[in-house]
Chains A and B, each alone.
Chain A
Amino acid sequence: MTKKKTATQRKPSQPSSHGHSHRQGDCVALLRQLSAYIDDELPSDVCTEIRRHMGTCPNCEIFIASLQHTVTLCRHRTTPPLTSADRKHMRRAILDAANAQ
């Protein structure tokens, strides 16, 4: 991904600040497909194209790594367990509410 620029900032003859040149649209198009890429839902030719893009765009490479890390952390987020007392208390409350009708 390249730095987002406005029309007045753009200088076509200069490479981007991280030393490569391609259209910003490539980066935005890639950003739209990243979840599908992570989930392995894209056709192989599109995956190849994304990998090729990442090879020339360090920012996109870092971005996708951080998105992958985000998904990994979400998948491993833990929750506190219910206690036996909680289970019993809730069961009683549910049955009381049902029988009160």
Chain B
Amino acid sequence: MRAITPTTPPRQPARQKPDGFDRLYRDHVDLIYRYAYRLCGETEAAKDLVQETFLNAYQGLKNFRGDARVSTWLYTIASRACIRMRRKRKGQPEHELSIEEFVPTSEGEFRLQIPIDGLSPEEALQNKELRKALDQAIEKLPQKYRMALVLRDMEGFSAKEVGTIMGLNERAVKSRLHRARLFMRRELSARGITHHDGHKPGSLHS
């Protein structure tokens, strides 16, 4: 875990922790960590993002008017912090995804499948190979698409709520989400993951 540096000056000096902060932290730290882990894909980066999020929340708590749910407010702070942290790392510009690149160009590409037929998702995800493929595909997904996918398909927000959190209109959210799902489908199916043995969860056919 790194030491954290506040990114925006507080409007009022924050010398003492408000009681409200402890409650906010206690009630939401696991939720925001889960979101941060899903965005970052690894523990230390997720903890950094959680700290950045709650530091900003601490500073903004007195000005929070309750227009949105507290959790939505925290997700918004976390999303902005995640974007800022990525900019600081000065990585490569993000790749834009177009629908055209996901139109299959061969019969084989159409027929690639993800081997979970007959299994519950929990059983399917006992397959380490599949779990690893899922993690790696999410990691490869450009951040703005990953954020839409994580918020909608993993955190369970509606497209409208995702728009509020990401500062986008609903149409833009749906567009990003669709590209993200097509990307994930292509990545998962193209890996040729071996079929799962339904009778022995966790084992694989050769």
Contact = CB atoms under 8 A, between A and B. Distances in A.
B145 interface: no
A46 interface: no
B154 A77 contact: yes
B55 A98 contact: yes
Interface majority SS on B: helix, strand, loop or mixed?
Answer: helix
B125 A90 contact: no
B14 A62 contact: no
A101 B1 contact: no
Contacts of B106: 3-4
B101 to A, nearest CB: 11
B29 A90 contact: yes
Interface residues of B, number: 64
B174 A77 contact: no
Interface majority SS on A: helix, strand, loop or mixed?
Answer: helix
A28 B54 CA distance: 44
A1 B104 CA distance: 9
Contacts of B37: 79-80
A41 B29 CA distance: 33
Contact of A87 (B29, B103, B177): B29
B9 interface: yes
Interface residues of A, number: 47
Contacts of B102: 31
Given A71-B153, A75-B154, A94 B134 contact: no
Contact of A90 (B38, B51, B184): B51
A94 B189 contact: no
Given A1-B110, A4-B104, A101-B14, A32 B116 contact: no
A61 B201 CA distance: 27
Contacts of B34: 79
B70 interface: no
A65 B6 CA distance: 46
B141 to A, nearest CB: 11
